[in-house]
C-alpha cells in the first residue's frame, strides 16, 4: 500500500507539473546585462580596487600601478621596482585600506626572485610613496604564486599564495606556500589565527581568487587545479583543502570538499566576486565568466558560462552595483585584440535582477515556494547525479529526494510575512491586514486589506503614499491559528526605497563622503547613547533603484542644514522624516520646512554603521539607519 501511495503522489505531481507553465530557470544570458568598456590599451591588468571617491586603482603585471579618473583618463601613479616579471609572475594583488580616508594606505603583492612580498604604500594624491614591506620571503617560483590580496569584513588583510611548484609545502602549516594567509595591517599575526602564524587555510595548489558574500559573510576561494580539477571552495578557518593528496571531489573525511569542481574542462579561475548574491569567476583558459549559484548553505544550485567572446579573463570585482572584469590577452597565452587589454563593467538590467535565494531544500527554481514547478525540475533530473536536485547528496536523484521536497511542500524559503486575519474570517478568502516589510527595513507599513485565496498570488501596493510606494507579490502558503504565512516575490523593478539621495554627504573622520561612495569597513562618525561622536565603521550598505518621479522629502532646518531623504527614513528620536512638521525641534534646531519633491536620479542609498545606536550624520543631520542585521 505504501508503494502504491507513493507512486500515486508521483503521478499526481507529474500531472500538475504538466498542466503548469514551464518552470522558471535561474539561467542568465549576456543580453541580460548592460556592458561598458571601462578602460582599454592596458598590459595584463591583474587586480582592481576602488578609492572611497569611486575612482579605480589597478595593477598591471609588468609593474605599473594605475589610476582611472572619473573622467575616464588613466594615469600611472606608481611603478613597482625590484620585481621579477615573467611567465606567470609580476605585480599581482592590490588592496585599498578600509581606512584609506585617514591613512592613504595601499597594499600590493608582487613577485621577486628572492621571495615574494607584500608591501604597504602611501598614495599622496599623485603617486605611490613610502614603501613599507609588511611580509617578505613568501616562497616564489615562475609559476604557482597565487597573488590575490583583499581586506575581509573583519578588517584583516587576506593573501593567497601558491605552492611555488613545491606541492608538499601546501600541507606544511609552517610554510607560507599553498595557503590563504590572514594578516593584521602591519603584517603581524592576528591572535585568533588557527595555527599561531599567518596561515588561515592550507592545502592549496594555486589560489588566485577570494571574495566574501556581504549578506552572510561566506568566504569563497578559487584555485587552479592540476590537469583541470579547478575548484571553488568555501574558505573556512583552519581547514585543509587537500593539495597535493586530494583533488576536487576525491573522498577524504579530513579534507574540505569544494563547492564546485571543474573536472570536465579547464576553467583556470583567477579573480572571483559576489554580485547579486551569486559568485562570478573569471576564467583564463576557460575564456569566460563562470556564474555559480549557491543556496544559503553554500550548496551548489547551478553554474553557467557568460561572456565567452573576450578571450582570457583575469580580474573581477563587484563595486557600486557593477561587476568589473579584465582581460589578460597580452600575457603570452592569449590572442590580443587591437585595443587589449581591457577592463569592462557589466550590470544586470533591472528586469533581470534575481530574487533572494530560497533557504528551503526543494525550491529548485528559487521562486520562494516549493511546489509543482520544482517537482517538474526534479522529475527531469530523475536517476541522474544532478547536484541541485540531489537533496540528500547521496549521488542520485530518486524518491528519497522527493520525500525531502514533499516535506517542504508549499513552504516559503524567502522568509515569511505574517499577517493577521480579519476577526472571524477563518475559511474561504482570507483578508490581508498588515505586512511587515522585513526584507527592506523591518518597519511596519499601513494596512491594506486584500482578499486572497490559498495558492493564488496577490499584488499589493505598500509605502507611505501611493506615489511613493512599491509593489510586492505574495502567495498565501499556510494558515496556523489566526496567522497566515505568505511566500514573498518582490517586484525588483520597484523595490521600496527608504533611503538617502545619492549625493548625501556622510560625516567621516576624514571629511564628508557621498553615501554612494561608502563601502563596507570604511570609518564613519556614529552617535553614542548620549549623542556624542563615536568612531565606527560601515558594516552594511544598501542601494535601491527608484522609479521616475519617485517622491522624496526635502527637510530644511532653520540653521541651514538640508537633506533629501525618503519620508519613511527614521530619525534619531523614533519618528520618521515624514512625521516632522515646521516648528518641530529636531537635532538641536527647528524644522523650517518638509516638502515632497520628485527625485529622478535613479538610486537611493543607506548605510548601517557599527555601534549601539545605528545613528550617523547625513548632511550634518543626525539620522537612524533603515538597515539591520538579520540573525
Among 495, 530, 555, identify where a domain stops.
495
Interatomic CA distance for residues 305 and 327, integer angstroms: 16
Note whether 362 and 441 are same-domain residues: no
Question: Could you tell me if 6 and 47 lie in one domain?
Answer: no
pLDDT of residue 435: 36
249 plus 329 within the same structural domain: yes
Among 366, 383, 411, the domain-final residue is 411
| Whole-angstrom distance, CA of residue 420 vs CA of residue 519 | 39
β-sheet bridge partners, residue 493: none
Q: Are residues 145 and 258 in the same domain?
A: yes
Same domain as 331, residue 220:
yes
CA distance 83 to 63: 7
Which pairing describes strands 430-432 and 269-275: parallel, antiparallel, or unpaired? Answer: unpaired
The CATH number for 65's domain is 2.120.10.30
Pair (70, 196) in one structural domain: yes
Q: What is the total count of domains within the chain?
A: 4
Q: Quick one: which H or E segment has residue 400?
A: helix 399-407
* 248 found inside a domain: yes
CATH number at residue 539: 2.170.16.10
The full DSSP string for 451-508 is EE-TT-EEEEEEESSGGGEEEEEEEEEEEETTEEEEEEEE-TTS-----EETTPEEEE
- 487-507: pLDDT as tens digits: 443 333 334 556 888 889 999
Residue with cell 524559503: 413
**Do residues 564 and 608 share a domain?**
yes
Which pLDDT does position 508 carry in this prediction? 86
33 lies in a domain?
A: no
What local confidence, expressed as pLDDT, does residue 441 receive? 28
State the CATH number of the domain containing residue 17.
1.10.1330.10
The dihedrals phi and psi of 186, each to the nearest 5 degrees, come to -90, 5
Give the pLDDT of residue 427. 33
Residues 404 and 420 in one domain: no
**The pTM is what?**
0.58
Angle at 543 between CA 539 and CA 546, to 5 degrees: 155
Among 370, 604, 424, smallest CA distance to 501 is for 604
- At 537 the pLDDT is 87
CA distance linking residue 461 with residue 467, whole number of Å: 10
Cell representation of residue 383 = 536517476
Confirm whether 38 is domain-assigned.
no
Q: Is residue 91, in this structure, part of any structural domain at all?
A: yes
Q: Are residues 184 and 265 in the same domain?
A: yes
Q: What is the pLDDT of residue 572?
A: 83
Range of the domain at 455: 415-495
pLDDT in tens, 36-93: 999 999 999 999 999 987 899 999 999 999 999 988 999 999 999 888 877 788 899 9
- Domain membership flag for residue 630: no
| Residue of 463, 364, 319 lying closest to 27 (CA atoms) | 364
Q: What is the pLDDT of residue 70?
A: 83
Q: At 297, is the secondary structure helix, strand, or coil?
A: coil
**pLDDT given at position 368:** 58
- Domain end position, chosen among 390, 411, 432: 411
pLDDT at 434: 36
- Same domain for 191 and 47, yes or no, is yes
DSSP at 445: P
Same domain, 520 and 400: no
What is the structure's pLDDT at 478? 52
Residue ranges for the chain with pLDDT beneath 50: 1-25, 351-357, 412-475, 481-484, 486-495, 630-631
Give the pLDDT confidence score for residue 551 in this predicted structure. Answer: 74
What residues are paired with 622 via a beta bridge?
617
| 3 state DSSP class of 521 | coil
Residue 313 forms part of a structural domain? yes
Active site residues: 144
Report if residue 36 sits inside a domain.
no
- Inside any domain, residue 509: yes
**216 and 331: one domain?**
yes
Amino acid at each position: 500500500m505504501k508503494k502504491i501511495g507513493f507512486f500515486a503522489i508521483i503521478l499526481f505531481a507529474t500531472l500538475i507539473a504538466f498542466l503548469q507553465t514551464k518552470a522558471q530557470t535561474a539561467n542568465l544570458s549576456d543580453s541580460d546585462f548592460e556592458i561598458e568598456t571601462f578602460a582599454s590599451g592596458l598590459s595584463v591588468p591583474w587586480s582592481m580596487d576602488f578609492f572611497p571617491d569611486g575612482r579605480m586603482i589597478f595593477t598591471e603585471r609588468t609593474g605599473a600601478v594605475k589610476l582611472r579618473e572619473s573622467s575616464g583618463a588613466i594615469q600611472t601613479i606608481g611603478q613597482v621596482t625590484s620585481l621579477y616579471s615573467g611567465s606567470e609572475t609580476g605585480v599581482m594583488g592590490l588592496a585599498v585600506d578600509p581606512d584609506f580616508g585617514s591613512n592613504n594606505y595601499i597594499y600590493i603583492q608582487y613577485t621577486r626572485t628572492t621571495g615574494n612580498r607584500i608591501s604597504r604604500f602611501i598614495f599622496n594624491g599623485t603617486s605611490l610613496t613610502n614603501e613599507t614591506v609588511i611580509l617578505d620571503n613568501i616562497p616564489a617560483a615562475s609559476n604557482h604564486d597565487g597573488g590575490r590580496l583583499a581586506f575581509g569584513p573583519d578588517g584583516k588583510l587576506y593573501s593567497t599564495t601558491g605552492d611555488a611548484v613545491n606541492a608538499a609545502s601546501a600541507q606544511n602549516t609552517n610554510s607560507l606556500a599553498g595557503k590563504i594567509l590572514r594578516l593584521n595591517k602591519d603584517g603581524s599575526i592576528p591572535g585568533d589565527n588557527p595555527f599561531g602564524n599567518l596561515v588561515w587555510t592550507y592545502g592549496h595548489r594555486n589560489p588566485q581568487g577570494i571574495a566574501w558574500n556581504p549578506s552572510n559573510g561566506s568566504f569563497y576561494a578559487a584555485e587552479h587545479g592540476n590537469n583541470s580539477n579547478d575548484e571553488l571552495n568555501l574558505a573556512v578557518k583552519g581547514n585543509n583543502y587537500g593539495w597535493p593528496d586530494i583533488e576536487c571531489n576525491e573522498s577524504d573525511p579530513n579534507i574540505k570538499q569544494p563547492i564546485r569542481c571543474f573536472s570536465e574542462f579547464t576553467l583556470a579561475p583567477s579573480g572571483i566576486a559576489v554580485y547579486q548574491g551569486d559568485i562570478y569567476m573569471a576564467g583564463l583558459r576557460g575564456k569566460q565568466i563562470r556564474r555559480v549559484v549557491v543556496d544559503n548553505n553554500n550548496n551548489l544550485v547551478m553554474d553557467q558560462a557568460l561572456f565567452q567572446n573576450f578571450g582570457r579573463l583575469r580580474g573581477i570585482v563587484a563595486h557600486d552595483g557593477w561587476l568589473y572584469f579584465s582581460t589578460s590577452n597580452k600575457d603570452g597565452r592569449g590572442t590580443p585584440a587591437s585595443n587589449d587589454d581591457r577592463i569592462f563593467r557589466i550590470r544586470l538590467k533591472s528586469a533581470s535582477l534575481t530574487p533572494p535565494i530560497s533557504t528551503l531544500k526543494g525550491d529548485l527554481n528559487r521562486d520562494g515556494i516549493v511546489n509543482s514547478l520544482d517537482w517538474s525540475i526534479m522529475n527531469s533530473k530523475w536517476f541522474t547525479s544532478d547536484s541541485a536536485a540531489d537533496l540528500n547528496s547521496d549521488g542520485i536523484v530518486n524518491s528519497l529526494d522527493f520525500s525531502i521536497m514533499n516535506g517542504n511542500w508549499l513552504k516559503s524559503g524567502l522568509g515569511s510575512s505574517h499577517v493577521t486575519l480579519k476577526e472571524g474570517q477563518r475559511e474561504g478568502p482570507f483578508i490581508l491586514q498588515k505586512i511587515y516589510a522585513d526584507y527592506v527595513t523591518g518597519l511596519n507599513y499601513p494596512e491594506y486589506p486584500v482578499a486572497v485565496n490559498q495558492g493564488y498570488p496577490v499584488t499589493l501596493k505598500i509605502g507611505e503614499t501611493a506615489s511613493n510606494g512599491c509593489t510586492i507579490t505574495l502567495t498565501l502558503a499556510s494558515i496556523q491559528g489566526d496567522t497566515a504565512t505568505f511566500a514573498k516575490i518582490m517586484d525588483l523593478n520597484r523595490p521600496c526605497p527608504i533611503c538617502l539621495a545619492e549625493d548625501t554627504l556622510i560625516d567621516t573622520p576624514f571629511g564628508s563622503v557621498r553615501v554612494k561612495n561608502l563601502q563596507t569597513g570604511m570609518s564613519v562618525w556614529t552617535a553614542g547613547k548620549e549623542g556624542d561622536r563615536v568612531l565606527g565603521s560601515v558594516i552594511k550598505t544598501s542601494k535601491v533603484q527608484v522609479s521616475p518621479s519617485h517622491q522624496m522629502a526635502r527637510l530644511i532646518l532653520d540653521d541651514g542644514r538640508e537633506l533629501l531623504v525618503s519620508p519613511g527614513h527614521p530619525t534619531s528620536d523614533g519618528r520618521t522624516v515624514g512625521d516632522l512638521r515646521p516648528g518641530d525641534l529636531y537635532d538641536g534646531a527647528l524644522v523650517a520646512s518638509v516638502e515632497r519633491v520628485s527625485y529622478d536620479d535613479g538610486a537611493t542609498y543607506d548605510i548601517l554603521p557599527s555601534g549601539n545606536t545605528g545613528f550617523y550624520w547625513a548632511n550634518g543631520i543626525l539620522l537612524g539607519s533603515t538597515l539591520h542585521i538579520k540573525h
